[in-house]
Structure 1
Amino acid sequence: MLIGLDIGTSSVKAVAVDRNGDVLKVAERPYSPRRPRPGWSEQDPEDWWRAAEDALDECGAHHCDGIGLSGQMHGLVALDGRDEPLRPAILWNDSRAYEQCRAIEERLGLEGFVAHTGNRALAGCTAPSLLWVRDHEPEVYERIAAILLPKDYVRLKLTGERATDAVDASGTLLFDVARRSWSSHVLSALELDPAWLPPVHESPAPAGRLDGRVPVAAGAGDEAAAAVGAGVVKQGDPVSIVLGTSGVVVAALDGYAADAQGRAHSYCHAVPNGWNVLGVTLSAGGSLRWLRDVLEPNASFRRLIHEATAWEPGTQGLLFAPQLAGERMPHADPKARGGFVGLGTHHDRGALARAVLEGVAFSVRESLELLDGLAGRPVKARVSGGGARSDVWLEILAAVLDLPLEICHVQEGGAYGAALLGGVAAGLWLDVEEAVSETVRVTRVVEPRADWVERYAELRPFYDALYPGLHGIQHAAD
């Protein structure tokens, strides 16, 4: 038995998997980010550990063959000399460090920074958050002895070892993605201590052991782990789309490539000597959760989505922009905000829900189009995450993207991919490619509906105009 553990934004999930790739057990423990100020998003690392302990115990981790880790990327976990967190972790969807992003790109130059890291400086990433702590909490900064990412804090508690993987390291903005090592140039330019950073391993490599026996794979950031779980490991595979709290589009590459302006993320992949490019919608499932919580917190998502089916594509002129917590791609704007446009008295709760599903789908389309120049236009996509459980949302997404969507037999996202990495670390499979070939199975395909494709093509210019218009309103309000 193998176990994959995913440290998500809203919960920890552990998945027990057998040698054939079938799920034996799923254990999940919820928690919530803390938002002490507008634009801030934090979590207590101990919340992850308590939830992880419970979920692992439920799945029988102490008696398994191997464990793999996955988790939300970018989060800053600052530790003191006793490996205790100095403050709540600053998460990937935190937008406070926009001034630090500007300072980083001014110091290194936009093109120079992208050349060294494969990415541009974006709020919520580890390096800008660390500089924010230096600028605003110097008493905390002076006590830092080590820096970890969310899943790697759980590894530390689980095995006593500080380590990370090349995928998660790629998202710190302190990593030379092309060379798969920490960037001495960036660390020197930002005056950061390289001794704070953990050793970097390839994703399927063992990086610690539970009880001194069970190998714990280095694992991967959630986007790459989910891609592994969907069988997206080499160039030419379908793109991976994850509809979770955020919406992530991942294309695998056999060689390193980056957009010169940093409009797409370029990361190492969970396959040794593999890379990927991706686009991100920060508020995907998060937009639907926000709507539910505002309208009726006790309502089920199933009920809300069912009400959306009463409305035709386009929702009679109602559009939704999902930039509720800023945006990364293609608009690197931490101050971006979302909104409904075209709201009328004839619209009800179902209309709002339909507009949210459509608005997120159009935002995912923007991310997908960012990758075309780097990875080529895909002919199909594989979808995972909580949103993949909604037939309605899948039909909307297929029509907006005008792509067939493949659904695999397991929909546990990053946790499932992490379990496969744990299997490689345990020696059950020779490599990630073999693990995927023996376990990942497509069970159905959602084809785009021709009439919906036509309608959404008509709506695209209106969605393309949403961000500039709302951006202008927001800045006028400021």
Structure 2
Amino acid sequence: MKYFIGIDIGTSSTKAVLFDELGTSLLSASSEYNIISPKLGYIEENPNDWLKATIITIKEITKTYPVIEGIGLSGQMHGLVLLDKNDKILRNSIIWCDNRTGKEKEEIEKKIGNQRIKEITGNDVMAPFTLAKLLWVKNNEPEIYGKIAKIMLPKDYIRYILTGSFTTEYSDASGMQMLDIYNKCYSNEILDKFAININFLPKLQESVDISGYIIPSLAKELGLKNIPFVVGGAGDQAAAAIGNGIILPSDVSIVLGSSGVVFNPILKEDIKPDLPVQVFMHAIKDIYHVMGVTNGCGLSYKWFKDNFCETEEIEAKINKQSVYEIINRKALSSPVGANGLLYLPYLNGERTPHNDPYATGTFVGIRQSTNKDDFARAVLEGISYSIRDCYSLLKPNRYNVYLSGGGAKGNLWRQIIADNLKCDIYRIEQQEGGALGVAILAMVAAGIYNNVLDAKEKIIKVKDITKPNKENYKVYDTRYEAYKALYYSLKGFFKKY
């Protein structure tokens, strides 16, 4: 039996999971780190924190399993990692949920035009993408910009340190807004327009290709008794999709993580210039996917927990429960519609469908009778309305909808989403998401499976199904219309103030 590690470099922690070649999770370890917010709207992380967390989690696994065949890397997308000619980190990484690049978004639109950018990259000009972040450094930190020798994404920095390979793969690179997704190469037109040296960008490869092997001296430090390979891996959403079996155009993945993502594979010929959702490359060769994103998904619920649930935190410690289980139970006492309270989950602006970096989180409908349980339910419902926004933009079809991520553990949240989308919601047995997805890629690279679809059929199993409650349709339809109207009522206010 061969063993594989899937590593997911997330927003709040890095998680490493050990799998056997049947996809069974045998052992896992995680290590948390802090988000750095030097100014309002600025969201950064120290890449060395990811590295320390990666080393800690691998070493925890190798205490018991020191012989590993292969490793897959998944990571938060869009983050900017900059190294100088001596491979020194030049600044903290500006990560995906940072909200400082509104002016750079406008600069890209002025110099190239939104329509032309979409023709090349598959997406409108997006403030959260890597290009806008790079231009912000150029405009605001020219002394740092002048020292750049390597431009990386978060997981690819970890790959570089582990293997020495300066490489990325297409699923993650397609979120940089520098990739020509149709020709599978960096866009000279975009790079030339902004004077970006193509040699500063990592080599492109397929997700199942081996990008390198753990540096022998580092392997010894990690507690390994052999030299495992590292595959290309995937951006977090493509990795989670594979880990949830989202391979075919009839499949839809909804991930309730720090961000909320609606993900649907498509073929190249189905990409249309007027698609209202974001388009990226999948971690499967020559397959693409459309994706709608709500920036403030799990981030909103964590924000609510951190700021309003001290009592629940104490109760959770006493009873050795998850604090979110307690919050969910209390939210259940609030009726469908949260007694008229509405929440816009735009803590860091919004991507889909508004592409608005100025939008902010908002509660509307507070009355004297409103209580904390209503607020908890309103947060869950508001995020679910944003997920519904994304889902409504997909090509009409009868999809198999799979729910995953930390939020999928809550019965109430699964029910709210089923009621809003008016369809069955599937949850699979495996809950490792992106870590399983990139471990599967490593298994394919090792020849355990012929391809990703072969692996899915043998590994992925359905755990349960949440059926929609038709009695709730009318209330949610009414509240969803109010939710949509609320954003447009406040849009001008957001930008002005």
TM-score above 0.5: yes
**CA deviation profile, 1:275-327 (whole Å, cap 9, x unmatched):** 00000000001000001111135721221111101011101111111011101
Query: Of 201, 213, 219, which aligns to 1:209?
Result: 213
1: CA distance, partners of 2:430 / 2:369:
39
Q: Which of the residues 231, 239, 252 maps onto 1:239?
A: 252
Among 254, 267, 274, the residue aligned to 1:254: 267
Contact 1:383 1:405 in 2 (8 A): yes
Instruction: Choose 63-72 or 210-219, whichever is displaced more.
Output: 210-219
Q: RMSD of aligned C-alpha atoms?
A: 1.4
Distance 1:390 1:159 in 2: 38
Match of 2:381 in 1: 358
Q: Following TM superposition, by how much is the alpha carbon of 1:228 offset from its aligned partner in structure 2, in angstroms?
A: 0.3
| 1:455 pairs with 2:469 | no
CA shift for structure 1 position 136: 0.5
1:331 matched to which residue of 2?
354
Contact kept, 8 Å, 1:337 with 1:471, in 2: the verdict is no
**d(CA) in 2 for partners of 1:51, 1:274:** 32
Return the match for 2:343 from 296, 320, 323: 320
Counterpart-to-counterpart distance in 2, 1:439 and 1:431: 12
Structure 2 CA distance, aligned partners of 1:262 and 1:93? 23
Please tell me the residue identity of whatever aligns with 1:24.
L
- CA distance in structure 2 between the partners assigned to 1:452 and 1:134 by the alignment: 51
Cross-structure match for 2:494 = 474
CA drift at 1:377 = 2.7
Aligned to 1:99: 103
Q: Distance in 2 between matches of 1:287 and 1:31?
A: 18
3-state SS of paired residue (1:63)? coil
Are the counterparts in 1 of residues 260 and 295 from structure 2 also a CA contact under 8 Å? Answer: yes
Equivalent of 1:15 in 17, 21, 25: 17
Q: Residue deviations 1:339-376, cap 9 Å, x none?
A: 1110112222211110000000010011112222xxx4
1:261–1:99 CA distance, 2 compared to 1 (3 A): farther
How many Å apart are 1:53 and its aligned residue?
Answer: 0.6
Q: Deviations over 1:38-93 (max 9, x none)?
A: 11100000000000111111122752111111010000001111212100000111
Return the match for 1:68 from 59, 64, 72. Answer: 72
SS of residue paired to 1:427: coil
Choose the corresponding residue for 1:411, options 431, 444, 467. 431
The one-letter amino acid of 2:30's match is E
* Residue 367 (structure 1) aligned to one of 377, 390, 412: 390
Answer whether contact 1:111 1:261 (CA < 8 A) is retained. no
- CA 1:359–1:20: 2 relative to 1, 3 Å: same
Equivalent pairs: percent with the same residue?
A: 38
**Cα deviation per residue 1:229-257 (whole Å; 9 max; x = unaligned)?**
11111222x20110000000000012254
Deviations 1:184-219 (A, max 9, x none): 111112211000011111111111112463111100
Quote how far apart the aligned CAs of 1:222 are.
Answer: 0.4
The answer to whether residue 162 in structure 2 is matched with residue 155 in structure 1 is no
**Number of equivalenced pairs:** 473
Amino acid at match of 2:50: W
1:258 CA drift (Å):
4.1
| 2:402 pairs with 1:382 | yes
State the shift of 1:471 in Å. Answer: 2.2
**DSSP-derived class of the 2:394 partner:** helix
Q: Displacement of 1:259 after TM fit?
A: 5.3
Partner-residue secondary structure (3-state), 2:87: coil
2:25 pairs with 1:30? no
Q: For 1:122 and 1:7, how far apart are their aligned partners in 2?
A: 22
Distance (whole Å) between structure 1 residues aligned to residue 269 and residue 294 of structure 2:
23
Higher alpha-carbon deviation: 46-55 or 448-457: 448-457
TM-superposition CA deviations, 1:406-435 (whole Å, max 9, x none): 100111221111111111122211211111
Which secondary structure does the structure 2 equivalent of 1:271 belong to?
coil
Check 1:118–1:257 CA distance in 2 against 1; reply closer, same or farther (3 A cut). Answer: farther
SS at 2:472's partner residue?
helix
Q: Tell me the residue number matched to 1:278.
A: 291
The letter of the residue matching 1:21 is: G
Aligned-pair distance for 1:469? 2.1
Which residue does 1:79 correspond to in 2? Answer: 83
Shift of 1:336: 0.5
CA distance in 1, matches of 2:26, 2:286: 31
Distance 2:373 2:434 in 1: 30
1:40 aligned residue? 42
Equivalent-residue separation in structure 1 for 2:271 and 2:196 (angstroms): 25
CA deviation vs aligned residue, 1:155-187 (integer Å, no higher than 9, x gap): 111111111110000000000111211111111
> Could you tell me which residue of structure 1 aligns to residue 363 of structure 2?
340
**Equivalent position amino acid for 1:241 in 2:** I
Q: After TM superposition, list the pairs within 5 Å mapping 1:146-225 onto structure 2.
A: 146-211=150-215, 213-225=227-239
Work out which of the residue numbers 280, 283, 293 in structure 2 matches 1:267: 280
In the alignment, the residues of structure 2 paired with residue 463 and residue 378 of structure 1 have an alpha-carbon distance, to the nearest angstrom, of 25
Displacement of 1:473 in angstroms is 3.1
Structure 1 position 4 matched with structure 2 position 6: yes
Q: Distance in 2 between matches of 1:454 and 1:413?
A: 33
- Tell me by how many angstroms 1:20 deviates: 1.6
CA contact 2:260–2:387 (8 Å) conserved in 1:
yes
- The alpha-carbon deviation at position 261 of structure 1 amounts to 5.4
**Contact kept? 1:256, 1:275, Cα under 8 Å:** no
More deviation in 328-337 or 210-219? 210-219
> Whole-Å Cα distance in 1 between the matches of residues 34 and 487 of structure 2?
28
What secondary structure sits across from 1:248 in the alignment? strand
CA 1:58–1:390 in structure 2 vs 1: closer, same or farther (change >3 Å)? same
The one-letter code of the counterpart of 1:366 is D
Equivalent pair of 1:248/1:364 in contact (CA under 8 Å): yes
* SS of equivalent to 1:294: helix
SS where residue 24 of structure 1 aligns? strand
TM-score by length of 1: 0.96
8 A contact 2:71–2:439 mirrored in 1: yes
| Aligned mates of 1:430, 1:215 — CA distance in 2 | 18
Residue of structure 1 equivalent to 2:418: 398
Equivalent position to 1:426, from 441, 446, 450: 446
State the shift of 1:378 in Å: 3.9
Shift of 1:262: 6.6
Contact residue 164 and residue 215 of structure 2 kept, 8 A: no
CA distance in 2 between counterparts of 1:97 and 1:475 reads: 14
Match of 2:219 in 1: none
Q: Secondary structure at the match of 1:346?
A: coil
Which stretches in structure 2 are left out of the alignment for 5+ residues? 217-226, 314-322
Take 1:26 and 1:6, find their aligned partners in 2: how far apart are those partners? 11
Q: Displacement, 1:464?
A: 1.2
